[in-house]
Structure 1
Amino acid sequence: MKTFTVEEVAQHNKADDIWIIVDGKVFDVTKFLSEHPGGKKVLVKMAGKDATKKFKQFHNDAIMQRVGLPMQIGVIGAEKKEEAPKPVAAAAAAAAAPLTPGKLVSADEARFGDGFPYGDPNWYQDWNSPYYNESHMRLRKVIREFAEKELMPYCHEWSEAKAIPREVVKKVAQAGFLNAASGAGTNPSVASLLPYPLPAGIKHEEFDIFHEFICVDELARCGSGGLLWALQGGLSIALPPVMNFAPEPIKKKVVPECLAGEKFIALAITEPSAGSDVAGLKTSAEDKGDHFLLNGEKKWITQGAYADYYVVAARTGGAGMGGVSLLLVERAWEGVEARYMDVMGMWGSGTSYITFDDVKVPKTHLIGKLNEGFKYIMHNFNHERLGIVMQANRLARVCIEEAFTYSMKRKTFGVRLIDHPVIRNKLGHMIRQCEATHAWLENIMYQIKTLPEASQPARLGGPVALLKAQSTQTFEFCAREAAQIFGGLAYTRGGQGEKVERLYREVRAYAIPGGSEEIMLDLGIRQATKNFEKRSKI
């Protein structure tokens, strides 16, 4: 790229010829004058000058990536030669060493990420951990580079458009991240159906729940629940019943299409009058010999507005949980209608209202056995809720990272925000809750990795439910406190407070779906009581 001196840039200081400097980069913003959201005068005042301080006062890094860099024409001074990066495997292997207690490496080798206090889990910052190895660190590096380049700069644009481009979903799929984030990576029964390899060259037999966690966690770092749910909202909750219980022809057709990002699948359980009370659903599927006749309504269905397949919970038997079955319904069938719902947050994830009017469902599309659908729903609840926890806690951490970064540069009453005790108090409470939740999550994931699968529902259902409530309340607290730190910027869509404003709207989508906080807290105590009484024979 061409180099310029400060004096050369200073000559381009008129309204019809404006260059500015930001972080040592030179930009020609002449044609951008009429498009600048703050008006022409803002740029004219900085014509020919170093605008770094002003730019960082009002903009975030995503604006530079998306809007600024295309206008860059050069750099100031001699172009700095960058060191050739270490091969990913070598760098990851070096960084993996401190994860094994007793082995030491230099601090530079051990650290990963931007280094903002508590902006990343502590194992990113040279803390020892028993949970991760070289493959986890390799995956972490690959997905962060992908997310920062391909996703993060465009989250606001996609959110405002209330749509994620299909080509973006396919690109994420080709990188192997849909395999990872959907649970398919840890499911040996579908290893042969994956349309693309797992990311970072990880083999299926070594892929574990912690790899899945890293994928979800790093994607969540983009700070957009709408993006997360548009990418893998249906995959993580609707595809597992198909992977685990659907007939082989259905599995072989649906799984590859969805993991390739070519088709979308949604879980249709919630109804206008039946949310957490799954056993009370009213949608019916009447036996007509060679098919079921499906009638009913579903509401608040993630990705339902544009899904190609629906995993539908319908009543095929008597009242209660014993009369529920799961059916795979195709969007193209006559009698299926889905329409968008206008909701508070998660824009772009296709929240919908669906009606089934005399839909003929072939019996070959029955998932598992008749009237055992409730069991299949429960089978995936721990995975669904853990996915919510993974996302919610990273989104809470995003609030911490954004607020901490902003407080280091914003001044009030002559000092930085971080120098005010009240701001440090807010950050302290945000951090302690987020770190506690993260540690609990890692503990439970280790149980999932090591306990016999058959014992997990009874042993982990209650703790996972409590953890979900913990994570969503932590997220809500952090979003609220971050908004207070940002002030008016968090009340404005776009700009420096973009992520915080969006996340504040999206909190409810984590606190209610997958089991509301009230239901989760009650479930956790009921299961603990039941297990105790069973063991002690009270």
Structure 2
Amino acid sequence: MPRPIPFSEPPYLCGLPSAYYTPSHLRWQKACRAFVTENLHQHALDWEREEAVPPQVFQNFAEANMLIPNLPAPLPVEWLHKLGIHDILGAVKVEEWDYLHTSIFCDEMSRSGLAGPSASLTTGMAFGVPPLIKFGSKKLQERFLPDLLLGKKRTCIAITEPGAGSDVANIETTAEKSEDGQEYVINGTKKWITNGIWSHLCTMAVRTGGPGPSGLSMVVVPLLDYPGVSMRRLKVGGHSTAGTTFIELSDVRVPVFNLIGEEGQGMKYIMTNFNHERLTIAVGVTRQARVALSAAFEYCLQREAFGKVLMEQAVVRHRLAKAGALLESQWAWVEQFVYQMTKLSKAEADVELGGLTALAKAQAGMVLDECARCAVLLFGGNGFTRTGRGEIAERIYRDVPGARIPGGSEDVMLDLAVRQLAKNYQRQTKLLERPRGSSKL
């Protein structure tokens, strides 16, 4: 087996020992890579140029149960068994699935270096379905989950608005009950909704009460061809194939039956899935950085300038070394996070890792920025061109804002991380304080 280009693979795939991965994980990685390479990556660059992934690709993934890995671990085993899904690609049983399997999937889905093609397939299942699984009533789940889990219908998460991005508590889209109390009448707009343009329905954050987070709820809202719903695709700097959408809602009527959980609990439901969202983003973005840097490394071994190959120039080696150190440090940190997720309960992970996950997501965007910029500069004119040898570096660099803004913008994530770390410290310190007037420790 040929030795991989430096920085092109995580250490465990370069033959180096790792305490994290079991035979189940290694078996899954091989099966996952083979499927994703054949069904996505070999055409990903062409689809990104055309700004469209053929609908059949989604169906190929659905028929192979390869949309299921987007869900948080552990998987909803009871539902999957009910639908006849017992394993993924014959490599791993659904009841054995943990966050390391999830991480391998996210890493492999990003191996093309392009965020858009994979996001066109993953975002709806990863972020739109979990609130329904975790908080939806049994009847609501029975109505929607079979079609969603089997990929017969597509969905998305609709939270962000023109005036409320990371500031979720200020969502303005309203859902008021009809006079007979049987329907919600929804009015407002949603913006930058990934996968929205293809989605039959969505999990939407709406305001059912007063201002602030306590007035938010989550509702399943039909989209495609539904009365009062208007959608148009947005052109964005990167993620060209991900189906970024602007949604307008004018007196959209949905049954109150479509409420997820309880009114006024929407903020809680939204926050519950943020750790999954940010961790999966961090894994995929780190792989993008790996693709950019390893492409530049290979180029520098071949390109000649000033009478010698670029790799013989000290300044080139310095750039690669600096970016490589950041990349491998980020991967080690993310890998550590993922392992910890396999050992902590959901409640423990939300408290102990919530702020740090936000920090890891923010740091992933910074590392991608550094690695992509390094690649563009080392490719020179080729890295500034949308075709040819440097095309992959140019396209990854365009994806950088898509890593640093969606899923919680970078500055908000940095602030959130420190605030939660301080809160955890203060809470634990208070628990250790000696009661006043007591001699007991």
| TM superposition score category, shorter chain reference | over 0.9
Query: What is residue 157 of structure 2 aligned with on the other side?
Result: 267
Deviation at 1:189, TM superposition (A): 4.8
> 1:224 Cα shift?
1.1
**Residues 234 and 266, structure 1, Cα contact 8 Å, conserved in 2:** yes
The answer on 1:122 being equivalent to 2:11 is: yes
* Matching residue of 1:216: 106
Equivalent residues of 1:314, 1:324 under 8 A apart: yes
Structure 2 counterpart of 1:423, which letter? V
Q: CA deviation at 1:412?
A: 1.1
What's the CA shift for 1:138?
A: 1.3
How much has 1:521 moved relative to structure 2? 0.6
Q: Distance in 2 between matches of 1:348 and 1:469?
A: 23
Structure 1 match to 2:214: 322
Q: Contact 1:234/1:265 (CA < 8 Å) preserved in 2?
A: yes
Change in Cα spacing, 1:114 to 1:245, as seen in structure 2 (3 Å) is farther
TM-aligned CA distance change 1:312 to 1:193, over 3 Å: farther
* Structure index of larger Rg: 1
Q: Which residue of 1 aligns with 2:115?
A: 225
Q: 2:38 is matched with which residue?
A: 149
Q: Does 1:168 align with 2:57?
A: yes
CA distance in structure 1 between the aligned counterparts of 2:140 and 2:14, rounded to whole angstroms: 45
SS at match of 2:184: strand
In the alignment, which residue of structure 2 is the partner of 1:52? none
Cα-Cα RMSD: 1.7
Deviation at 1:222, TM superposition (A): 1.2
Q: Does 1:524 align with 2:413?
A: no
1:419 matches 2:309:
no
Contact 1:156 1:494 survives alignment (8 Å): no
4+ runs of 1 displaced by more than 4 Å? 193-196
Matches of 1:177 and 1:337 in 2, distance apart?
30
Q: Which residue does the alignment assign to 2:292?
A: 399
The amino acid that maps onto 2:379 is F
2:269 is paired with a residue of what secondary structure?
Answer: helix
- The match for 1:140 is 29
CA drift of 1:531 comes to 1.1
Pair 419,257 (structure 1): closer, same or farther in 2 beyond 3 Å? farther
1:291 and 2:183 equivalent? yes
1:230–1:303 Cα contact (<8 Å) kept: yes
8 Å contact kept, 2:193–2:245: yes
Distance 1:190 1:488, change over 3 A: farther
In the alignment, residue 499 of structure 1 is paired with which amino acid? Answer: I
2:358 pairs, out of 455, 465, 485, with 465
Change (3 A) 1:308 1:114: farther
SS in structure 1 of the partner of residue 279 of structure 2:
helix
TM-score (norm. length: structure 1) = 0.77
Provide the rounded CA distance (Å) in 2 between the counterparts of 1:205 and 1:190: 11
Letter in 1 for 2:170: G
Counterpart among 228, 236, 241 of residue 126 in structure 2: 236
Partner residue in 1 for 2:332: 439
Which deviates the most, 219-228 or 412-421? Answer: 412-421
SS at match of 2:8: coil
Structure of greater relative contact order (alpha carbons < 8 Å, 6+ residues apart): 2
Is 1:179 matched with 2:104?
Answer: no
Between the aligned partners of 1:194 and 1:498, the Cα distance in structure 2 is 42
Out of 177-186 and 362-371, give the one that drifted further. Answer: 177-186
Q: What residue identity is the alignment partner of 1:320? A: G
CA 1:334/1:114 → structure 2, altered by over 3 Å: closer, same or farther? Answer: farther
- 1:190/1:243 contact within 8 Å kept: no
What is the percent sequence identity of the aligned residues? 38
Letter in 1 for 2:200: D
Deviations 1:101-133 (A, max 9, x none): xxxxxxx6xxxx851112101011121111101
Alignment match, 1:72: none
Q: Which amino acid aligns with 2:25?
A: H
Once residues 281 and 370 of structure 1 are traced to their aligned partners in structure 2, the CA distance between those partners, rounded to angstroms, is: 15
Residues 82-101 of structure 1 mapped to structure 2, 5 A cutoff: none
Match of 1:279 among 142, 164, 169: 169
Contact 1:186/1:209 (CA < 8 Å) preserved in 2? no
Matched, 1:430 2:323: yes
TM-score (normalizing by structure 2): 0.93
Q: Deviations over 1:353-377 (max 9, x none)?
A: 1011001110111011111011100
Map of 2:276 onto structure 1? 383
What letter matches 1:454 in structure 2? A
- Can you give the 5+ residue segments of structure 1 that lack an aligned partner in the other structure? 1-107
Q: 1:509–1:247: structure 2 CA closer, same or farther, 3 Å change rule?
A: same
* Structure 2 CA distance for aligned equivalents of residues 379 and 183 of structure 1: 11
CA distance, structure 1, for counterparts of residue 174 and residue 209 of structure 2 = 9
Q: Deviations over 1:249-298 (max 9, x none)?
A: 43234333334333211111111111111001100000220111100001
